[in-house]
Amino acid sequence: MENFFKLVVVVSFVFLVACSNNVSNSNNSSITGNAVVDESQENLLINYDFSSGNTEGWGYFEQNGSGEFSVVEEELEVKVNDSGKEDYSVQIYQDGFLLAQGCKYELRFDAMSTIDRSFGVRFQINGGDYHAYSSNNYDLTSEVQTYTLEFEMKEPTDPAPRLALNLGTPKDLETLEAHKVYFDNFSLVLLDDSNKVESSIENKMKQININQLGYPLDYKKIAVFRGEDVDKTFDVVNIETNKVVYTGDIEKEFINKTSGETNYYGDFSNVREKGKYIIKTETLGNSYEFEISNDIYERVDYDILKMLYLQRCGVELTSELAGDYAHPICHNDEATIYGTTTKIDVSGGWHDAGDYGRYVVPGAKTVADLFLAYQSKPDNFGDNLGIPESSNGIADILDEARFELEWMLKMQDSESGGVYHKVTGANFPGTVMPQDETSELIVSPISDAATGDFAAVMAMSYDTFKSIDKDFAEKCLNSSKKAWDYLNKKSTFQGFKNPSGIVTGEYGDSTISDEYLWASVELYKVTYDKKYHTEIKENYSNKSLGLGWADVGIYALYDYLNIDNDKVDSELFNKMKNDLISAADEALKLSKNDGYFISMGEEYPWGSNMTVANKAMLLQMANKIAENSEYIEAARNNINYLFGVNPMSTSYVTGYGTISPVSTHHRPSQSINSTMPGMLVGGPNSNLQDPYAKSVLANEPPAKCYVDNSQSYSCNEITIYWNSPLIYALTNR
Ligand SMILES: [Ca+2]
Ligand SMILES: [Ca+2]
Ligand SMILES: [Ca+2]
């Protein structure tokens, strides 16, 4: 998963394209008053003449360079102290305007420099590969000149581009001496919109939201309506016969703070006949189409698991099995252990997310979810997923889990038993296919979190594989014990921090007691060795009770409850059972108090869709320990949300539903311009953690802080461990 450091990294893919200059000279000695800002035309930039006396609206970025910027006498002064290695080593920028496809624009500004130098101006995409929509290089002298850049926006409308002024070291030149550059009187105006291409982003929001896949015949079915003035009744229309098959009442008013709207509800559970339908009312229009059928999840069940195969690293994916997402072997060179010259083979495993990093911590969550899904309904999982191990007599979900486990085994230091946190490049790659990320692979240091998670899933693997492949199972068990011993010897646990120079996903969990507990439970479950039980009894706490990559307590607790009765401490058993039920009751309560019936609450964090899938999973796990039909109902409601019963009227699983994400932050999909099906995207994130989200979602309520754009990595990335709880949830729906 990406993080803020991405900005720093990917800027390195920015290259200047030199174009013809368009400069008019002036003899004025003061910079003020050269470029004429035509007041009759709307200036798309803010604080363009610095009469505010401050830098509001302008940002500063540096990498391997150093500078300062401020407004002096109503002009922008940039001190370039060290021009760095790259043209973007010192950069000034402004965001927050829109460039519409087919329109012509003109940028105009005055500038001078205390030394003769060239510099670059770019209008660029503010994310992904940061490529330029238009750019130009200019020569600056101590004389004030007016510069212009006329261009046509040829690419699809961008509501959040960046104007960047690159003041680092121009290409092919030596570092410049310290100097100052002055700017004033910027104007960016629309010259010609006669060829404007109307944005295809029409309003896709519906006033009536349903699960866009549909509903099995006997499921409860509730449509969520919104609006100020809603009708009293709604109709369910069979779209094949165009007949109204049911008319129901629109009921209950709910003021929904998280989506900033008023919701109403319509129950159409009585419609049980197989078919394709819409819901409509006079004033709210239609819902999207949906199906009533017991097969609605059949295809998506397949694709959300197949997605893991398509994320495989270190092997060739053939077009026979991977279709458009086929690729040659990738990331197969030996990797260097951070801070050493030692190289080891850590090939294999799944690419974690939209990037190609491989991380033990989230990988362990994914594998645990697969094991739990398999154990809950082994007969659901076939041997025909279309992976290299299909038809080998072993359920493909287990083959897929093993692919990750084989990689994880390579991530264990054979001497200490500790497990390396991750293997990635130093930086995130550009928008390339996996085989084209060729930067040096670096193994980050051993972490306590990775070691604990590893010990837990290796013991689970022993449990699952002991009847399938005894040698492999034993290998997993021995590795698990070794990892546990590593942690057991430590007096305190430490969270992982990215070492200097590595900026890929950190997964920096600082509470490791839950990982250690989980490892102890899984090892006790398969060995009944008292030393593990002692640790469980001494260390159990109801903190970190989650199913996330950081809080793993529920995994520990659930599997302790699955140990034979005569092997558990009955007092602890009861305590854990109560804690699990409390957690499920809390999820149930949240679901009942939510406008769209999900167990989320008021905040929508990064990866909120994982939270929704995890809550469905939690409710289903609790149902296995203490049967409660309300848990199953609430789990189904969480699932319905992911497929369209939400304020964005979106199915958050790619390729499924009428409206689903088509512009994910996922490098293979971006590289071939076709979105891989069966990926659950991160979803609404009210913390607005990328520049694109900040630009376009600033005024949205939490549940609507979502945009289907590949630049928005904090809303629209995908990960293996967002798919995996959905695999469990759909298995136990
Ligand atoms: Ca000025
Ligand atoms: Ca198989
Ligand atoms: Ca933890």
For 142-158, how does the pLDDT look when each residue is reduced to its tens digit (9 = 90+)?
Answer: 999 999 999 999 998 88
Ligand closest to CA 544: 3
Q: Given this model, what pLDDT does residue 281 score?
A: 97
Considering the domain architecture, whether residues 22 and 169 belong to the same structural domain is answered as yes
Judging by beta carbons within 10 Å of its beta carbon (0-12, 13-18, 19+), is residue 694 exposed, middle or buried? Answer: middle
Instruction: Identify which ligand lies nearest to the alpha carbon of 494.
Output: 3
Q: Say if residue 145 is in the same domain as residue 264.
A: no
Note the ligand closest to the C-alpha atom of 49. 1
CB count within 10 Å of CB 253 equals 11
Q: Has residue 94 been placed in a domain?
A: yes
70 with 121, same domain? yes
- In this structure, is residue 163 part of a structural domain? yes
Distance 120 CA to ligand 1 centre (A): 21
The rounded Å distance from CA 179 to ligand 1 centre is 20
Residues 158, 13 share a domain: yes
Residue 135 and residue 248 share a domain: no
Which residue, 273, 292, 311, sits at the end of a domain?
Answer: 292
Cα distance between residue 351 and residue 307, in whole Å = 11
Check residue 14 and give its pLDDT: 34
Please report, for the domain that includes residue 91, its CATH number: 2.60.120.260
Whether 477 maps to a domain, the answer reads no
CATH number of the domain within which 276 lies: 2.60.40.10
Looking at the DSSP bridge assignments, the partners of residue 91 are: 61, 166
Please report which ligand is nearest the Cα atom of 510: 3
Claim to verify: residue 159 and residue 236 sit in the same structural domain: no
Rounded distance from Cα 29 to ligand 1 centre (Å): 14
Domain boundary at 292, 310, 325, which? Answer: 292
Does residue 624 fall inside a structural domain? yes
717 is catalytic: yes
Residues with CB under 5 A from ligand 1 (ion): 49-50, 74, 184
CA of 388 to the centre of ligand 2 (A): 8
| DSSP designation for 626 | S
Give DSSP secondary structure letters for 498-538.
PPTT--S--------HHHHHHHHHHHHHHH--HHHHHHHHH
The ligand placed nearest to the CA atom of residue 543 is: 3
Same domain, 77 and 158: yes
Q: How far out from the chain centre does Cα 598 lie?
A: 20
Total domains, the chain: 3
What does the alpha-carbon distance between residue 273 and residue 346 come to, in Å, rounded to a whole number?
A: 53
Cα 220 to ligand 2 centroid, rounded to whole Å = 35
How far does residue 483's CA lie from ligand 1's centre (Å)? 64
Q: Are residues 123 and 247 in the same domain?
A: no
Residue 360 in domain: no
In the reported structure, the alpha carbon of residue 707 is separated from the centroid of ligand 2 by a whole-number distance in angstroms of: 37
User: Per the domain annotation, does 388 fall within a domain?
Assistant: no
Which residue in the list 184, 369, 437, 717 is annotated as catalytic?
717
Predicted pLDDT of residue 3: 54
Ligand 2 centre distance from Cα of residue 309 (Å) = 12
Residues 238 and 101 in one domain: no
Q: Do 120 and 173 belong together in one domain?
A: yes
**154 and 229 co-located in one domain:** no
696 and 586: one domain?
yes
Domain membership of residue 45 (yes or no) is: yes
pLDDT tens string 471-522: 999 999 999 999 999 999 999 999 999 999 999 999 999 999 999 999 999 9
- Of 645, 728, 657, 640, the closest CA to residue 305 belongs to 728
For ligand 2, the distance from its centroid to the CA atom of residue 311, given in whole angstroms, is 17
Listed in sequence order, the residues at least 6 apart from 84 whose beta carbon sits closer than 8 Å to its beta carbon are 62, 63, 64, 65, 66, 90, 168, 169, 175
Report the sign of the C-alpha dihedral through residues 188, 192, 195, 196, in that order: positive
Active-site position among 82, 158, 453, 708: 708
667: left (phi over 0), alpha (psi -120 to 50) or beta: alpha
- Alpha-carbon gap, residue 57 to 53, rounded angstroms: 12
- The residue ranges of the chain whose pLDDT is under 50 are 4-22, 24-30, 33, 201-202
Last residue of a domain, one of 240, 258, 292: 292
Cα gap 190→172, rounded to integer Å:
34
Domain range for 282: 208-292
Alpha carbon of 46 to ligand 1 centroid (Å):
12
Taken in order 134, 136, 142, 143, the sign of the CA dihedral is negative
Closest CA to 114 of 20, 61, 177, 65: 177
Is 24 in a helix, a strand, or coil? strand
Residue ranges of the alpha helices (H) in 394-491?
396-410, 448-465, 470-488
635: CATH: 1.50.10.10
Measured in Å, residue 442 CA sits from the centre of ligand 3 at 24
Ligand nearest to the CA of 519: 3
Active site residue 56: no
Q: What is the pLDDT of residue 200?
A: 54
In angstroms, the Cα distances linking 551 to 412, 507, 691 are 22, 11, 28
Look at residue 228 and tell me if it is in a domain.
Answer: yes
| 8 A C-beta contact, residue 715 and residue 683 | yes
